[in-house]
Amino acid sequence: MKRLNKHSAIVDACYEIGATGWFLVVLLVAIPRSLRYLRETIRQIWFVGAKSLIIIMISGLFVGMVLSLQLYYTLSIFGGTSALGTVVALSLYRELGPVVTALLFAGRAGTSITAEIGLMRATDQLSAMELMAVDPIAFVATPRFLAGLISMPLLVAVFNMMGLFGGHLVGVNWLGIDNGTFWSNMTSNVNVWTDVINGEWKAFVFGAAISLIAVFQGYNAPPTSEGVANATTRTVVWASIVILALDFVMTAFLM
Amino acid sequence: MNPRRSYVAGTGLFILLGFVALAYLATQTTSLVNYQGGPNYQVTAEFLNVGGLKDRAPVKLAGVRVGTVSSIVLDQRSMEAKVSMTISKRYNEIPEDSFAKIMTSGLLGDQFVSISPGGSREVLKNNSQIINTQSALQLEDLIGKFLTSSGSSKSGG
């Protein structure tokens, strides 16, 4: 068993961060080579993106609904419930949409990427590919990385739309805020560049971070059942921490 | 459709759905809704004080949105705020001697420019200036006036 003193844990973490960064360079260099396997990339978008739609839509609906309820309570203290539409839309576009979608995506798609690649390694499929002169970085790793990159912004857009729908459902149909007030207040205060597009930038960066971590962990998992299990856990832990830390940094810069 | 093709179609559908959602968010829920395309003309007006008026605030006539505020700058010669407004060409028969006021929607709402039509036969054209203006109503000034006037009436009586 590995030594568990503090020193080695820090050194391990630094090693892992450095190796992940290097893996990003390897993946980016492999993008031109992986264009030959475009069909594989499309298949991965189907697996990580399209198949995450259901969970994203349901979560978006509930997040929007609870946001509307909570903000209605807060705004009613100040007599400003007419601003509900604005506050729901801004919270979703700028913060909750990208972050909640990213956390769900790490749990839904990140883990499956890590487990799949880890098992490919454990069952020697990656070595077999190398024997057949198929580059596993270009055929296995990069398509999954690109799929995460492409899927996240699209999933965030769907999440935001469902959230808005849920917020509207609770705010207008249940709490009785005027429909016109809800929309007109929103449309006069939400800006397409600073709110919608900046949220999409966050989604893009989160998508890159999650799929990079997931692919890296799978690719470097020890070829045992315990190794794959640990790698899957590490994907979720690292991805969650990185998402929340990046969120703070990006919010500070994009504000 | 063979199974090899079906996921390609599904992926295409997913990407399409994502872009439709993004397009909806960008055009239907943001200030782009209020974007008035098509031909328009510029009108300026000078105010002593614009209060909390912002760029892209609506310009209304009889409560109907006819344009938007395009820029607010300080005119150093007159020391007044010069407000430029973009008004849709559809509304090209606004009298030249119209009256521009800065009003607030509701007690705490956003400010906008309200135009009250005058009686002149001449109409506003591109780059013409609205002479008759009234500054933003300052709630603080109003309260101050109310306090001092009530104070003085007490001391007088």
Residue from A152, A196, A202, A204 whose CB has the most chain B CBs within 10 Å, to mutate: A196
B42 and B62, same domain (yes or no): yes
Task: Show the domain range for A125.
Answer: 6-254
Assess if residue A1 is contained within a domain: no
Assess if residue B143 is contained within a domain: no
> Do the chains contact at A42 and B8, CB–CB below 8 Å?
yes
For A158, counting Cβ atoms within 10 Å of its Cβ (0-12 exposed, 13-18 middle, 19+ buried), the class is buried
| Nearest residue of chain B to residue A89 (CA atoms) | B29
Report CA A194 to chain centroid distance, whole Å: 20
> Do the chains contact at A154 and B21, CB–CB below 8 Å?
yes
SS3 B129: strand
What does the pLDDT look like over A152-186, one tens digit per residue?
Answer: 999 999 999 999 999 999 999 999 998 988 988 89
> Do the chains contact at B15 and A153, CB–CB below 8 Å?
no
User: Which residues between 51 and 70 in chain A have a beta carbon less than 8 angstroms from any beta carbon of chain B?
Assistant: 53
Assess if residue B19 is contained within a domain: yes
Give the whole-angstrom CA distance, residue B26 versus residue A38: 30
Q: Which residues of B touch A165 (CB under 8 A)?
A: none
How many domains is chain B partitioned into structurally?
2
B59 and B2, same domain (yes or no): no
Q: Does A179 touch chain B (CB under 8 A)?
A: no
B6 and B73, same domain (yes or no): no
Assess if residue B155 is contained within a domain: no
Q: What is the pLDDT along chain A (255 residues), one digit of tens a residue?
A: 455 566 788 888 899 899 999 999 999 999 999 999 999 999 999 999 999 999 999 999 999 999 999 999 999 998 888 899 999 999 999 999 999 999 999 999 999 999 999 999 999 999 999 999 999 999 999 999 999 999 999 999 999 999 999 999 999 999 999 898 898 889 888 888 889 999 999 999 999 999 999 999 999 999 999 999 999 999 999 999 999 999 999 999 987
| Nearest residue of chain B to residue A93 (CA atoms) | B25
Mean pLDDT of B130-147: 82
Give the whole-angstrom CA distance, residue B81 versus residue B133: 11
B77 and B129, same domain (yes or no): yes
B47 and B123, same domain (yes or no): yes
**Tokens 């899957």 found at:** A232
Task: Show the domain range for B11.
Answer: 1-35
B12 and B46, same domain (yes or no): no
Query: What backbone torsions phi and psi does residue B115 show, to the nearest 5 degrees?
Result: -105, 125
B52 and B120, same domain (yes or no): yes
How many domains is chain A partitioned into structurally?
1
User: Which residues between 37 and 96 in chain B have a beta carbon less than 8 angstroms from any beta carbon of chain A?
Assistant: 58
Separation in Å, CA A206 to CA A58, A130, A202: 20, 31, 6
Strand locations in chain B, DSSP E? Answer: 40-47, 58-61, 64-75, 80-88, 99-104, 111-116, 128-130, 132-134
What percent of chain A clears pLDDT 70, i.e. is strictly above it? 97
- Least CB-CB distance to A158: which of B21, B30, B110? B21
Residue from A91, A188, A196, A202 whose CB has the most chain B CBs within 10 Å, to mutate: A188
CA of A26 vs chain B CAs: smallest distance (Å): 26
B59 and B134, same domain (yes or no): yes
Give the whole-angstrom CA distance, residue A5 versus residue A249: 31
Q: What is the pLDDT of residue A6?
A: 63
- Neighbouring C-alpha atoms within 13 Å toward the C-beta of B44: 12
Assess if residue A59 is contained within a domain: yes
- Least CB-CB distance to B11: which of A42, A161, A197? A42
CA of B28 vs chain A CAs: smallest distance (Å): 8
Assess if residue B123 is contained within a domain: yes
CA of A18 vs chain B CAs: smallest distance (Å): 33
Whether the CB-CB separation of A166 and A229 falls below 8 Å is answered with no
Query: What backbone torsions phi and psi does residue A125 show, to the nearest 5 degrees?
Result: -70, -35
Q: Which residues of B touch A143 (CB under 8 A)?
A: none
Report CA A106 to chain centroid distance, whole Å: 6
